[in-house]
Structure formats: C-alpha cells, structure tokens
C-alpha cells in the first residue's frame, strides 16, 4: 500500500477542462444578462451562489464530522471533502458581485419599500429597533467578512493538518488535535451558517423570521455535499487507483448518511411549517402564503415529492445504496433538487411567477461549472487518500469479492 501514490486519474483533468469550459461560456452569456436585466440576474445569482456555497461549506461540516467520528466512510472521502473546502476562495470572489452590485436588486424589495435597505423609518413597513441597528449595509459587509474569515480559518486548519499527517503518520498528537478541533468547529460552522443564511436569504423578507432557518441551510448543504462526494468517488472508481479501493460497503455507508441527511432536512423543513401553521400568526404565515399557493404551490409539491419522497423511498433499499450506477444518479438528482429548493426558498420574494428564467439555467451552469473545475483542480493537488491516517489500511481492506 505504501508504494502507491493514489494520484488523481486522467478523468479528473478532463472534468476540470469541461467544467471550466461550460462554466466560462455560461459566465460570458450571463454577463449579458447582468447588463440587460440585473433585476432578473441577481435573484438567479443569489440562488446559484447559495448552491455552490452549500457544496463548499457543507463539505467543511462533513469534513469536521468525519474527523470527530472517524468512520471508514470518512477516510474514503476525506480528500474530496478537503478539495471542496479549498474552493472557498472562489466563494469569496463570487460573493463580491452580490456585495458590490447586487445589494440594491436583492434587498430593496423592488423599490416598494419592502426590503431592509430602503425600509421606511416609520409606519407599516418600518423595521424594528433591533433590525435598524443590525440590518444595515455596513453590518452586512462586516458580518460577511467575519463569516468568510471563520470559514477560511477552519479550511486552513483542517487542510494543513491533514497534509502534515501524510508526512507524519505516527503523530498521534496531531490526530488528537484534529479531533479536538472538529467538535467546536462544527458548532462554529452551524452558528456562522445560521447568521449567513439570515443575512443573505432570510433578510429578503425582513418582516418574517424563523429560528430554524439556518438549520434548513445546514441540512440542505449536508445533502449537497454528500451527494457530490458519492458522485465523485464513483467517478474516481472508474479507473485505477481508486477502482480497487472503493467497495460496496463504502457506498452503502455514504448512501445511509445521505438518507439520514435527507430525513434531517425534511424534519427541519416540516418543523418550520408545523410551528408556523399551528401558530397561525399573520406575520409568520406570510412565508407560506406566498409559497404554498398557485404556481409556487406547484413548486412546493415538486420539492416535497422529488426532493424528499422519491429519493427517500429509493434510498431505503439496501440494493440501491450499494449500486454504483443508481446511487450517484440519485445523488446528482438531489443536487439539482437543492437548486429547485433554493429557487422556492428565495424567488417568491421577487416574483409571483413560479417559472425559471433563462438566467436560472445559465447562472447555475456558470457558477457550478467554475466551482466544479476549481474542485477538480484541487483534487489533483493531493493524493486521493489520506496516506497518513492510521486507519487507512483498515478502511480500504477488502472483505468481499
């Protein structure tokens, strides 16, 4: 085993080229949209940004989770997870258009005084006293800097330590330190994501609030990230060296976790609905008044059936979770459904028309393509397995044939 290097196969380079190409072309096309229809561009951009943010920081959460729990499943996907977290610099860059140009299109409520950026000082649409001090442009920028600094810090700690471990497999103290940092790191990730989701998405409707909103994002991000990992390991396993590493039991474990995250997400989402529905308060039900009727109601049913019920019942089966052809398809489907869910979460604040625009096709391709290209580039920088992990040999040992 020690003689093997586990370098990324040729297919990763091809993925990188294709993803950059698709992402680059789509980005050029979308710039046209940004110039001619910024009021359509930025809602699409926010949705796409939130999707790739989920792939990035969701992977950060999963990475810390696997350090904390140290299962074999985590050793198999540790390097792809690390590569996904190293896409964070791209997230900083892709956040800039929102911060520089997008604020007035996103947080001004179409000039009707419904957004927090232009809320009237008094009267019906006025913000509360606390919101007046919290939801300000300078507060928005300051907090965004804090979020990214914390994420980048966590990314740095776990990537550098993992690299050190490759060189010093015997270093027990290093392994212990990773474990000790992972617990507080997860708490930090959930806190930061809660605040970030409030700033970037929930503040689209400043008079509505939900305390579980951040968890909806956290659970959704775990689905996105785990789905990506399943797709990536199956892709890597098409060729050596990963082909002789990945076994059905690994896929089974990853599939079980995906099912668990899916149920967690559904549980959070339903909790929010149940509490608001039971409370029946005018200021709370606005969220569902706009999202459960007419066209948006159709989207809600699509999300319920195709984001939850269909993948849930499929993933219940052991044969599906162990199937290297079916499982990655469900995973990629779930990433797509994450996008639909983000569409349903954010877009009703902009329009009552529940139809995607051409930018909703181009922008996810642009940001997703660039992200995937960068991810593939990152994947080539390190061996595909954490060679210094003391449990590696056991994790990739063959039991079945």
Query: Residue numbers of the site for another protein (CB under 8 A)?
Result: 270, 273-274, 277-278, 280, 316, 318, 399-400
Q: Which pairs from 27-33 meet CB under 8 Å and 24+ separation?
A: 27/366, 27/367, 27/369, 27/370, 29/362, 29/366, 30/359, 30/362, 30/363, 30/366, 33/358, 33/359, 33/362, 33/363
Q: Are 239 and 7 in contact (CB under 8 A)?
A: no
Question: What is the residue-wise DSSP string for 216-231?
Answer: HHHHHHHHHHHHHHHH
Measured distance CA(142)–CA(4) in Å, rounded: 46
- Least separation in angstroms between residue 276's CB and another protein is 9
**For helices 38-69 and 213-236, what crossing angle results, to 10°?**
70
Q: Which is nearer to another protein, 188 or 273 (CB)?
A: 273
Measured distance CA(100)–CA(104) in Å, rounded: 9
Structure tokens at 210: 């939900």
**For helices 294-302 and 282-291, what crossing angle results, to 10°?**
80
Query: If we measure between CA atoms, which residue out of 22, 95, 23 comes closest to residue 57?
Result: 95
- Least separation in angstroms between residue 384's CB and another protein is 24
Q: Which is nearer to another protein, 274 or 298 (CB)?
A: 274
- Least separation in angstroms between residue 399's CB and another protein is 4
Q: Which is nearer to another protein, 122 or 278 (CB)?
A: 278
- Least separation in angstroms between residue 267's CB and another protein is 8
Q: Which is nearer to another protein, 180 or 275 (CB)?
A: 275
- Least separation in angstroms between residue 215's CB and another protein is 17
Query: If we measure between CA atoms, which residue out of 81, 8, 71, 3 comes closest to residue 238?
Result: 8
- Least separation in angstroms between residue 247's CB and another protein is 11
Q: Which is nearer to another protein, 249 or 380 (CB)?
A: 249
Query: If we measure between CA atoms, which residue out of 18, 95, 42 comes closest to residue 372?
Result: 18
- Least separation in angstroms between residue 249's CB and another protein is 10
- Least separation in angstroms between residue 233's CB and another protein is 21
Query: If we measure between CA atoms, which residue out of 340, 356, 277 comes closest to residue 303?
Result: 340
Phi-psi region of 269 (alpha: psi -120 to 50; beta: other; left: phi over 0): alpha
Q: Which is nearer to another protein, 138 or 281 (CB)?
A: 281
Q: Which is nearer to another protein, 244 or 318 (CB)?
A: 318
Measured distance CA(147)–CA(150) in Å, rounded: 5
Alpha helices in 136-247 (DSSP H): 137-167, 172-200, 213-236
Cα 142 to chain centroid distance, Å, stands at 22
- Least separation in angstroms between residue 277's CB and another protein is 5
Q: Which is nearer to another protein, 116 or 288 (CB)?
A: 288
Q: Which is nearer to another protein, 225 or 247 (CB)?
A: 247
Measured distance CA(401)–CA(388) in Å, rounded: 26
């Amino acid at each position: 085993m020690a003689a093997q290097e586990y370098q990324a196969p040729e297919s990763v380079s091809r993925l990188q080229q294709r993803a950059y190409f698709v992402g680059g072309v789509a980005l050029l096309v979308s710039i046209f949209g940004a110039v001619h229809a910024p009021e359509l561009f930025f809602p699409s951009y926010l949705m796409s940004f939130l999707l790739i943010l989920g792939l990035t920081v969701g992977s950060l959460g999963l990475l810390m989770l696997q350090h904390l729990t140290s299962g074999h499943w985590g050793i198999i996907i540790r390097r792809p997870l690390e590569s996904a977290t190293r896409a964070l610099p791209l997230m900083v860059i892709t956040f800039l258009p929102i911060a520089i140009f997008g604020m007035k299109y996103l947080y001004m409520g179409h000039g009707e005084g419904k957004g927090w950026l232009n809320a009237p000082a008094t009267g019906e649409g006025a913000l509360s006293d606390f919101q007046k001090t919290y939801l300000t442009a300078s507060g928005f920028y300051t907090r965004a800097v804090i979020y990214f600094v914390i994420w980048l810090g966590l990314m740095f700690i776990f990537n550098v330590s993992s690299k050190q471990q490759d060189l010093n497999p015997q270093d027990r103290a290093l392994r212990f330190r990773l474990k000790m940092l992972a617990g507080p790191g997860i708490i930090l990730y959930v806190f930061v994501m809660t605040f970030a989701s409030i700033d970037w998405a929930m503040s689209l409707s400043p008079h509505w609030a939900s305390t579980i909103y951040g968890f909806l994002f956290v659970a959704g991000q775990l689905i996105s990230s785990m789905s990506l990992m399943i797709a990536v390991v199956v892709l890597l396993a098409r060729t050596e060296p990963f082909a002789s590493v990945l076994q059905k039991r690994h896929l089974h474990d990853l599939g079980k976790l995906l099912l668990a995250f899916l149920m967690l997400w559904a549980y959070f989402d339903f909790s929010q609905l149940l509490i608001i529905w039971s409370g029946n308060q005018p200021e709370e039900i606005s969220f569902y008044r706009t999202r459960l009727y007419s066209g948006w109601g159709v989207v809600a049913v699509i999300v319920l059936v195709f984001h939850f019920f269909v993948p849930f019942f499929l993933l219940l089966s052991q044969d599906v979770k162990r199937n290297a052809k079916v499982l990655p398809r469900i995973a990629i489907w779930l990433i797509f459904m994450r996008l639909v869910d983000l569409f349903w979460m954010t877009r009703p604040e902009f329009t009552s028309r529940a139809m995607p625009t051409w930018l909703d096709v181009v922008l996810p391709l642009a940001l997703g393509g660039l992200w995937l290209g960068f991810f593939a580039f990152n994947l080539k920088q390190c061996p595909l397995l954490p060679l210094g992990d003391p449990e590696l040999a056991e994790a990739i040992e063959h039991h079945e044939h």
